[in-house]
Chains A and B, each alone.
Chain A
């Protein structure tokens, strides 16, 4: 068992701005990348020479090479299980010409300028686009550093740089047999001018040593022996432990608190009262929980005291009777529908969903007069820093944030509400305090995947093929709150993804969206976000059309994919590997889905068994994926396996309901997770491709939901138009 700590959690002290040149990356209009360089505040050889110790070589914000040869890569994306702490280093190491074993990783500090995802424009790990965002700039970062190290060696040997090459952390001059380790070249390389970006050439596909070859995950050893440090494991000296009760109704307030009994609990130190929450600070979480249970809190429920999810769904349904904002229009769907031979109409409803990350929400904060220090695992730490600065009134640079491994993100930790809450509490506490939410608090005060209502109508011609497709849906826009500039004219790219960009050839397509925010209920990104809703609806409807046309679901889809060869290829591969068409026993059915979301093509075939009492068991899932160039193949497999389980959980059981303004679910007994004995066999087939990489973290979740419900239809004749499946599959 290795005890080597690859992930250096100590190194999050910030960036040394004095001697660093930045590789600047920004999003270009239209989604492309602009890559350039800019100098740091005071830079240059003179500055480096003044330093007593030999300074590390830091050609950009991602690479640092110490004079002892230690290579430190700064990770702008956070590790939450998706393998980014292996695949991102692979991109840098590929071009830097070092072994993964030679590198140490450090979490990037909050810095929107240095560490923004070029595709999002903010420092965030989400939307399955770490690899897509990093693909060009981080290879460029590695190549730039390598080029400078080679130049430094060539200069020292007085040879032409083109006669030298880099390999395994050394520069080699083959003709003379001379070689120098990177560490020995650090001082010289730091004095060189930064090469122009256009002079840095990246390796061509086919020359990769690391990319495309399975790499052992760098974070695994620490995750099997208890040494991996998540936010919840942070222990600054003198830390106290707190847990909290927030208003059970969103928007409610604390009316009164009787804390006499709580204060008598051994180990309880302090009761912190906020406007809308009460926290108990103690020597350990056990005492804090006991103290919390001993509190008598009277709440003023506020305006949402009568809110129910039934009312919200009814509101959304009503909204879809009116026209929405046109999100997509091809041809004339109404006209085509009027002359269609067959007409299919359907409505769909998807529920609110909680994230239920295994690591409950938590954050450790130490507020001092002159600064604030935060320990947390978060997908968007610059936002957390900004939130803390706002609450404390401190300048941004006085808020130091240490990021950590994340025990499940799924979009929950793109939000800073947990940090804000902990800072509010910490402002009343002397010394550092770790605020940990109970599971009940975590589920009942999540920010939820929105509920959506969809109204659709489609028309078929005399051969059963679709000539008209009308889709109107209503629900929350997360982007409108999270990134307002991206919400333009009532539309955003996430809420509509998977609804407006279908892979099928549909001559007349019309899609409308209505932003309807549920009162009081905070909504947020959730694994596969927009597609988690849209792909369920569209892949269900196409299945309905195939059924109306009395055609096989795979054959029907394939006929509509002539203009989408990559989609067609994954469909055919999945169908073939799944044995599509082979006979199945009574009560067992196969369902299929095809999608192009997160820049990845994915087809899935689910094999589902429905018992007489309606219990649904997913037996087998076959996945065919074309995600372009693969960086770490085993991670692609792992992400699909993971996303499939996540999606089945939601499809079969997932729903958050409100009654009297209160979330009815509270823990894993009523917010069920798929378990070992229920997990299907999952097969993943990867299509060889040299296209640009696509996203892999979320695609599997949106694809599996309709594959499962379509399989239930095949097995029982019951069309599931409302999630979760729950007991709808009862056979009659």
Chain B
């Protein structure tokens, strides 16, 4: 049946089964390919988006659960203060390598920063451990969050 979703401030109508994961609606139906498919079962975080500002794994989120809610994706996260800071820090520190997981990493990091402007290492571990990076960019992700938050680091590599 048709559903109307609010994605990045725009109303979009899609006609798919209620239980269709938001990930496929974004990527395949609407062509918003910035959000990535990694595991399909919320184990890797590549598909992370925001629902009303909170990080959510879109691969296990049926669209029936997000009707009437505010959906934000990587394509629009730069319009939020936290998202903009995270993206800038990511470029400054050259965080991405293959980059495939980075949409999800940035969405998780932006949500963390919006909720906790000065996150501790423990906060970062908690917020980011659901996001796998096969290229192993973890140290730079940690640094990137701290750079965006303007906190000095006590845990760093060279």
Contact = CB atoms under 8 A, between A and B. Distances in A.
Interface of A: 1, 80-83, 216-217, 219-230, 232-233, 235, 241, 265-267, 283-287, 289-290, 356-360, 405-410, 436, 438-439, 634, 637-638, 641-646, 649, 667-669, 673-677, 679, 681-685
A283 B28 contact: yes
B20 interface: yes
A241 to B, nearest CB: 5
Given A1-B84, A286-B20, 13 more contacts: A223-B96, A224-B90, A224-B106, A233-B27, A286-B17, A287-B20, A645-B136, A667-B41, A673-B134, A675-B130, A676-B125, A681-B156, A681-B157
A360 B40 CA distance: 11
B98 A225 contact: no
26 contacts: A220-B94, A225-B77, A226-B103, A232-B33, A232-B36, A233-B27, A235-B31, A283-B16, A284-B24, A285-B28, A286-B23, A289-B40, A290-B19, A358-B101, A359-B36, A407-B100, A407-B101, A408-B134, A638-B140, A642-B135, A642-B136, A646-B134, A668-B44, A673-B132, A675-B130, A677-B129
Name, among A436, A439, A637, A669, the residue most crowded by chain B CB atoms within 10 Å (CB to CB).
A439
Given A1-B84, A235-B31, A223 B99 contact: yes
A677 B106 CA distance: 17
A641 B137 contact: yes
Interface of B: 16-17, 19-21, 23-25, 27-29, 31-41, 43-44, 46, 73-75, 77-78, 84, 87, 90-91, 94-103, 106, 124-126, 128-142, 155-158
Contacts of B158: 637, 683-685
A638 B97 contact: yes
B143 to A, nearest CB: 11
Nearest to A645: B136
Q: Which of B29, B97, B126, B156 has the most CB of A within 10 A?
A: B97
Nearest to A221: B91
B91 to A, nearest CB: 5
Nearest to A442: B39
Contacts of B137: 638, 641-642
B28 A284 contact: yes
A569 to B, nearest CB: 18
Nearest to A82: B97
Contacts of A225: 34, 74-75, 77-78, 87
Interface of B is mostly: loop
A1 B75 CA distance: 12
B38 A439 contact: yes
Nearest to A214: B94
A228 B132 contact: no
Contacts of B32: 226
A230 B37 contact: no
A720 B24 CA distance: 44
A227 B34 contact: yes
A436 B37 contact: yes
Contact of A286 (B24, B87, B97, B103): B24
A284 B16 CA distance: 9
A287 B157 contact: no
B149 to A, nearest CB: 16
A358 B40 contact: no
B146 to A, nearest CB: 13
A685 B125 CA distance: 26
Given A224-B90, A286-B20, A286-B28, A679 B98 contact: no
A679 B136 contact: yes
Contacts of B40: 289, 438-439, 667
Contact of B129 (A229, A359, A643, A676): A676
B129 to A, nearest CB: 5
B145 to A, nearest CB: 10
Given A226-B73, A266-B17, A684-B157, A641 B36 contact: no
A402 B31 CA distance: 19
Contacts of A668: 39, 43-44, 132
Contacts of A241: 24, 28
B133 A358 contact: yes
